[in-house]
Chain A
Amino acid sequence: MNAPVFHLDGAQGPSVVRGRREAAMRVFAALPLPSSKDEEWRYTPLRLLWDKSYSAHRSGDAAALLADFPLEEAAGRRVVFVNGRLDADLSDWSDLPTGMTITSFADADPAASTLIEANLGRADSFGDEYFAQLNHAHYGDGILIHARRNAVSPAPVAIYSLVTGAGAVALPKVLYVGDAFSEMSVIEVFHGPDATDYLHVPFTEVVLADEARLHHFRVQQDGDAGVHINRTASVLGRSSDLQSFTISLGARLFRNDIRAALDGEGGHATLDGLVLVHGNQLSDTHSVLDHRKPNCTSHQLHKCIVDGQGTSVFNGKIFVRQIAQQTNAFQENHNLQLSHHGQVYTKPQLEIFADDVKCSHGATVGQMDDEQLFYLRSRGLTELHTRYLLTFGFAAQIVNALPDGTLKERLTGEVDAFTRKRFDALTV
């Protein structure tokens, strides 16, 4: 095997973090592509990247991709990356709420530079990890999204990362900084064309100060031949609140590493997820919830529907440090298998060093519940119809938690379409 070759622009752009980029380039140059011999990559077929060549693509119809995923609730609050670079024509953040700013690293004024310097890498840089360092070394553009102290906005900001062509590598970087008592809502959309071999490697960092809140919705709807390897790291201050929902719909291979560190007393993190895989898709979630301080809570409900020869992987680590007494951590992973050819690997991994904690975890892999089937059939719904409803409901449990708006409507439609494809003999 040979690691992929990248033809990238080099250290263009933001002087504010140029030193770090150059350091990351030196680290990355020496790193091998992980293999299935590495425990963390056991089920992830990185052979899809062997002997490939990727470059910072410049052409393609990004406007059509954007039009394919409208979000009315984020009108006037839209950041668009195309192949990892900020697209000034498609972006429009003319209607930001008071106290909120969006700044490209390349355009950072002294105040923004100070914020970037102080917060970038504060959550978790993923150490000497191949894809993290690929992003740190070669990201196209970085943006800072900042909410000032007491700035509260329920209106969401949309961050699109679009990839337009075969052989493209897209490396966007986003840094959210929520000052004390602020509240932000963001929707991230990852999208690209079908039947197109490309690589999408975003890196997202979240720094929440005391009492800050972030509603973080992410939808991965990459093209069916795309490979998407995401890294997200959050660090949460005292009594802060992260509400993170990841919906995985697309890509040939999706690897989602999501880490949250509860670094102040009384913080809360929700890391919920919904994965729909069919065909030969593989969706692999590796999460780390790190309880570093007392009295924090975490909630992780991760649901997967596996159809065709799809594969779902879940590895959920929860660390409770010795000092983190009165932790309350909830983790459940439920997998619904619709075909006999799909595969599910689930591994909860709890490491608890404190003695006064409440940690619950559970994982199920299976088919439908007989009592639920009988109940709905006794209402006159056919077996096929009942299976459709139960499958829809299994996924809708995650989607229903989203706020009302075009995102929720679209995802409800996606879940419905996925479910109907399976039950195609059905007319409802």
Chain B
Amino acid sequence: MLSIRNLHASVDGVEILRGIDLDIKPGEVHAIMGPNGSGKSTLSKVIAGHPAYEITDGEIRFEGSPINELEPDERARLGLFLAFQYPVEIPGVTNAMMLRQAYNGIRRDQGLDELDPLEFEDYLAEKLAIVEMDSSLIDRNVNEGFSGGEKKRNEILQMAVLNPKFALLDETDSGLDIDALKIVSHGINQIRGNDKGILLVTHYQRILNYITPDFVHVLVKGRIVKSGGKELALQLEAEGYDAILEAVDA
């Protein structure tokens, strides 16, 4: 469903991604691991369409169609979702307002009736339960004054509400204590399904104890240098990135 060929991307004229190839089929969970500065976050932002990143070569296809030239909202309407590593605060706009307007936009696209605030509240209540989130956070401004864990949970809540076909999770595990990690992982597993694809970007193997990936890829200096099954993550955890970095340099 997501197919990436020879993807090169730069920010401010500096090339970060140097030829990525990746194929993710419906129902698959892929993990991208790599040391700091390897280009992990760049990859998720480029797929989501961040305007600061320029694709200089290669192609991203989603469900068969190229999306290189699409705006971020057009990609989202196709069913792509990015859970941010650092969720952004939006003063003055409540979570409920933002989510209802975003969700109704998707319903309009699908030719469905929009939900009024009360109907949406019911729909939201189901999704809140998935991430064990307090309903008071719904009427707070988006991410404003949220703790690190609350922000990450809020990302998963948004994903549950918007119900995308494909989710990019950018270091959703970083900064979480073990209880929050379990809740967030549970939320992701709830959404995981036969038809959905997930690309999980992470620095550590820890979250993969809760979300079992089908494939693990190691990203180094903007290229995937090694791919394997879930055992690759355990190997990385045990040996660190140094062994792979040495192999790459050699």
B88 close to chain A: CB less than 8 A:
yes
User: Quick check: A389 and B73 within 8 Å, CB to CB?
Assistant: no
A379 close to chain B: CB less than 8 A:
yes
Bitwise, A368-388 to B at CB < 8 A (1) or not (0) is 001110111111111101100
Classify chain B's interface size: 20 to 34
A393 close to chain B: CB less than 8 A:
yes
User: Quick check: A378 and B73 within 8 Å, CB to CB?
Assistant: yes
Which residues 105-156 of B have a CB within 8 angstroms of A?
105-106, 141
A-B contact pairs, 18 of them (CB 8 A): A372-B88, A374-B72, A376-B102, A378-B75, A379-B99, A380-B76, A381-B73, A381-B105, A389-B90, A389-B101, A392-B92, A393-B91, A393-B92, A393-B93, A393-B141, A395-B92, A396-B92, A397-B92
B108 nearest in chain A by CB position: A427
B42 close to chain A: CB less than 8 A:
no
Which of A371, A377, A392, A397 meets B76, CB within 8 Å?
A377
Shortest distance between the CB of A397 and any CB in chain B (Å)? 4
Measured CB to CB, the residues of B under 8 A from A are 48-52, 71-73, 75-77, 81-82, 84, 87-88, 90-93, 97-99, 101-102, 105-106, 141, 158, 162
Q: How far is the CA of A372 from the CA of B51 in the complex (A)?
A: 12
Bitwise, A95-129 to B at CB < 8 A (1) or not (0) is 00000000000000000000000000000000000
Which of B73, B81, B91 meets A394, CB within 8 Å?
B91
Which residue among A372, A376, A383, A394 has the maximum number of chain B CB atoms within 10 Å of its CB?
A376
A360 close to chain B: CB less than 8 A:
no
A64 close to chain B: CB less than 8 A:
no
User: Quick check: A378 and B48 within 8 Å, CB to CB?
Assistant: yes
Residues of A near B106 (CB, < 8 A) are 380
User: Quick check: A396 and B98 within 8 Å, CB to CB?
Assistant: no
Which of B51, B87, B91, B99 meets A375, CB within 8 Å?
B87
User: Quick check: A394 and B92 within 8 Å, CB to CB?
Assistant: yes
Residues of B near A400 (CB, < 8 A) are 92, 141
| Interface secondary structure of A, over-half rule | helix
A390 close to chain B: CB less than 8 A:
yes
User: Quick check: A393 and B90 within 8 Å, CB to CB?
Assistant: yes
Residues of A near B81 (CB, < 8 A) are 378
Q: How far is the CA of A400 from the CA of B162 in the complex (A)?
A: 26
Q: How far is the CA of A394 from the CA of B141 in the complex (A)?
A: 11
User: Quick check: B77 and A380 within 8 Å, CB to CB?
Assistant: yes
Instruction: Known contacts A374-B50, A374-B51, A393-B141; decide if A380 and B105 are in contact (CB<8 Å).
Output: yes
Residues of B near A30 (CB, < 8 A) are none
Residues of A near B82 (CB, < 8 A) are 378
Residues of A near B75 (CB, < 8 A) are 378
B168 nearest in chain A by CB position: A378
A389 nearest in chain B by CB position: B93
User: Quick check: A397 and B91 within 8 Å, CB to CB?
Assistant: yes
Which of A372, A377, A389, A428 meets B72, CB within 8 Å?
A377
Residues of B near A374 (CB, < 8 A) are 50-51, 72, 88
User: Quick check: B93 and A396 within 8 Å, CB to CB?
Assistant: yes
Shortest distance between the CB of A380 and any CB in chain B (Å)? 4
The list of the 10 closest CB pairs from A to B, nearest first, reads A393-B92, A396-B92, A380-B76, A393-B93, A375-B88, A397-B92, A377-B72, A379-B102, A377-B73, A397-B91
User: Quick check: B141 and A377 within 8 Å, CB to CB?
Assistant: no
Bitwise, A5-46 to B at CB < 8 A (1) or not (0) is 000000000000000000000000000000000000000000
Shortest distance between the CB of B154 and any CB in chain A (Å)? 12
Residues of A near B102 (CB, < 8 A) are 376, 379-381
Residues of A near B76 (CB, < 8 A) are 377-380
Q: How far is the CA of A266 from the CA of B122 in the complex (A)?
A: 46
A388 nearest in chain B by CB position: B101
User: Quick check: B73 and A383 within 8 Å, CB to CB?
Assistant: yes
Residues of A near B52 (CB, < 8 A) are 370
Residues of B near A370 (CB, < 8 A) are 51-52
User: Quick check: A379 and B93 within 8 Å, CB to CB?
Assistant: no
Instruction: Known contacts A374-B50, A374-B51, A389-B101; decide if A382 and B73 are in contact (CB<8 Å).
Output: yes
Residues of B near A428 (CB, < 8 A) are 101
Q: How far is the CA of A54 from the CA of B175 in the complex (A)?
A: 66
Q: How far is the CA of A400 from the CA of B90 in the complex (A)?
A: 14
Residues of B near A371 (CB, < 8 A) are 88
Given contacts A376-B98, A381-B73, 7 further A-B contacts (CB under 8 A): A372-B90, A378-B81, A379-B99, A380-B105, A380-B106, A389-B98, A393-B90
User: Quick check: B90 and A390 within 8 Å, CB to CB?
Assistant: yes
Instruction: Known contacts A370-B51, A374-B50; decide if A380 and B162 are in contact (CB<8 Å).
Output: yes
Shortest distance between the CB of A261 and any CB in chain B (Å)? 30
User: Quick check: B93 and A392 within 8 Å, CB to CB?
Assistant: yes
Residues of B near A397 (CB, < 8 A) are 91-92, 141
Q: How far is the CA of A395 from the CA of B158 in the complex (A)?
A: 24
Q: How far is the CA of A380 from the CA of B164 in the complex (A)?
A: 10
Residues of A near B73 (CB, < 8 A) are 377-383, 386
A375 nearest in chain B by CB position: B88
Q: How far is the CA of A383 from the CA of B73 in the complex (A)?
A: 8
Q: How far is the CA of A374 from the CA of B90 in the complex (A)?
A: 11
User: Quick check: A383 and B158 within 8 Å, CB to CB?
Assistant: no
Residues of A near B91 (CB, < 8 A) are 393-394, 397
Q: How far is the CA of A385 from the CA of B100 in the complex (A)?
A: 13
Q: How far is the CA of A371 from the CA of B52 in the complex (A)?
A: 10
Residues of B near A389 (CB, < 8 A) are 90, 93, 97-98, 101
Q: How far is the CA of A376 from the CA of B225 in the complex (A)?
A: 33
A395 nearest in chain B by CB position: B92
